[in-house]
Structure 1
Amino acid sequence: MAERHVLGLSGGRDSAALAVHMAQAHPELELEYFFTDTGKELPEVYEYLGRLEGFVGKPIERLNPDRDFDFWLRQYNSFLPSPRTRWCTRQLKIRPFEQWLWPSLDAGDTVVSYVAIRSDESYREGYASTHPNLKVRLPFREVGIDKAAVIDILNASGLGLPRYYDWRSRSGCTFCFFQQKIEWVRLMERHPESFEEAKAYEKNAVDHGSPFTWSQGESLDELARPDRVAQIRADHDRRVARAASRRVVNPLRRDDDPIDMDELYGASKVCLTCHK
């Protein structure tokens, strides 16, 4: 029976850093890299995955679901996914992953899946294996790699951070419901076509009786009003100022290092398959 080693990439910094770490620390492993593509990712994600492929020297397997977001939206009667009903993660991320591996697992192979949960994320858990031959490992926890070390790994490799970190906190679909309101404003400015697509999905869902909007408590039409945008910006600036005033001086960190969204709004239990 064979033993396979797989590492899922989201287009985010943590999984990218794990790929770099494993390539450097464990060159003896024949790692298989994969990315479950929803078709609704930011262009910056695809660009970064291409650069990462060049670094590891291997292709990244694209696991495209056989049925796309639009198909599943119809199956769920046009109800949008939400933090309480994450059907997008189940159908567009976990399902393709299991379909890819299950024939090998059922044939008796052992599969080791490496997940990029850091040592400073004690509140997170990895994918719970539902097959006896699937083993999950958390290398960052095993060797004590935290967020600062992740950034160091990426900078030392020459990859740096994905470009969307200039304005967004995580990878994932353009219309991810875990975005903060300031991120919706920035999406509207940087990728207006994606913002308009999200508005169209939302309007269709509301017309079909969906109780959810992408952003909690208001529609994207409401969020996009100039007075509301100004309010969101002001609230975000206040949060940044408060967080900056609480920062402990660190001689190893530049004063202009950006403040993470998790620092500003609190860490959330986001979907790991999308955001790591």
Structure 2
Amino acid sequence: MKTEQVKHVLGLSGGRDSAALAVYMRQHHPELTLEYFFTDTGKELPEVYEYLGRLEGFLGQPIRRLNPDRDFDFWLKTYNDFLPSAQTRWCTRQLKLRPFEQWIRPMLEDTTVYTYVAIRSDEEYREGYTSKHDNLIVKLPFKEDGVDKAGVLEILDGAGLGLPKYYAWRTRSGCTFCFFQQKIEWVRLKDQHPEAFEQAKAYEKNALDHGSPFTWCQGESLDELEKPERVEQIKKDHADRLERMKSKALPNPLRPDAEPLDIDDLYGKAKVCLACHK
């Protein structure tokens, strides 16, 4: 009689929630042999790689890198130099989901694979990866166990990891020029990584020259966004929004330092790319 094979995998984005899930599974389910993976677009912030290295130290095992067989520039040409956008998320499909599916597909012939996704209990608006194969089972431990954002922060604090360094100025994604960024995040990208901002501008100009209807920011090019008077307006609008949010926030006696506000708190819940953002 053939013994059923089982494998457990957990995808990491270089962000807060997926890192906390890796810690949580190690602490609460030590009986499982988990393989951790990261799909590398080649356009990640340097802070992402630094954080993954720290996480490997905590986990005591390497994180498998799933590099796409074609890079961002290849797919940009394939899509006629049109930038990825909320309407056409080819970067997520080709640089995140495709490498994962190519890696996992051969296993599914004779193995049941459980994939663990970091959707929290307070994220009813988020949708997880949908399995297209009977042998691929998606598990949502945080949702099942009632772990919310505050719980995620406590897990990372307790593990001595804290937040990825880019959370000091951005929370939307680890991808350098994610189109889901808010305008304040683009301004901060220019401050923190000016060379990456210039590359994003070059991609945008090339796309517009080839007839793309999309800019990285809806309704505004990066050339327009980086003008000094526009930068000052974006910073002022963000500061005003932050002040309004803080004035409405209820104090949390269990966290006297107050949990940090992030982009979702300030600008509303967006259906961002789960593979990148978590």
> Cα offset for 1:255?
5.0
Aligned 8 A contact 1:12 1:170 in 2: no
The residue aligned with 2:228 is 226
Q: Is 1:39–2:58 an aligned residue pair?
A: no
Q: Is 1:16–2:16 an aligned residue pair?
A: no
> Cα offset for 1:171?
2.9
Partners of 1:200 and 1:244 lie apart in 2 by: 37
Q: CA RMSD in A?
A: 0.9
SS in 2 for 1:32: strand
Q: Is 1:108–2:113 an aligned residue pair?
A: no
- Give CA deviations for 1:8-38 in whole Å, capped at 9, x if unaligned: 0000100000000000101111100000000
Aligned 8 A contact 2:172 2:263 in 1: no
- Give CA deviations for 1:226-252 in whole Å, capped at 9, x if unaligned: 000000011001101100110112222
SS in 2 for 1:113: strand
> Cα offset for 1:256?
5.7
SS in 2 for 1:34: strand
> Cα offset for 1:253?
2.5
Specify the code of the residue in structure 2 equivalent to 1:14: D
- Give CA deviations for 1:10-68 in whole Å, capped at 9, x if unaligned: 00100000000000101111100000000000000000000000111111000000000
The residue aligned with 2:182 is 180
Q: Is 1:70–2:55 an aligned residue pair?
A: no
The residue aligned with 2:173 is 171
Q: Is 1:87–2:99 an aligned residue pair?
A: no
State the identity as a percent.
Answer: 73
> Cα offset for 1:257?
4.3
Of 2, 6, 9, the match for 1:3: 6
- Give CA deviations for 1:193-212 in whole Å, capped at 9, x if unaligned: 00000000000000000000
Q: Which runs of 4+ in 1 moved over 4 A?
A: none
Partners of 2:90 and 2:61 lie apart in 1 by: 31
SS in 2 for 1:258: coil
Partners of 2:16 and 2:258 lie apart in 1 by: 19
Specify the code of the residue in structure 2 equivalent to 1:223: L
Instruction: Give the aligned length.
Output: 275
Q: Is 1:161–2:163 an aligned residue pair?
A: yes
The residue aligned with 1:126 is 128
SS in 2 for 1:15: helix
The residue aligned with 2:192 is 190
The residue aligned with 1:237 is 239
Partners of 1:191 and 1:52 lie apart in 2 by: 23
Q: For residues 193-272 of structure 1, what are the structure 2 equivalents within 5 Å?
A: 193-255=195-257, 257-272=259-274
SS in 1 for 2:36: strand
Specify the code of the residue in structure 1 equivalent to 2:37: F
TM-score, scaled to structure 2: 0.97
Aligned 8 A contact 1:129 1:136 in 2: yes
> Cα offset for 1:132?
1.1
Partners of 1:256 and 1:61 lie apart in 2 by: 35
> Cα offset for 1:259?
1.8
Partners of 1:252 and 1:126 lie apart in 2 by: 30
The worse-fitting range, judged by mean Cα deviation, of 162-171 and 62-71 is: 162-171
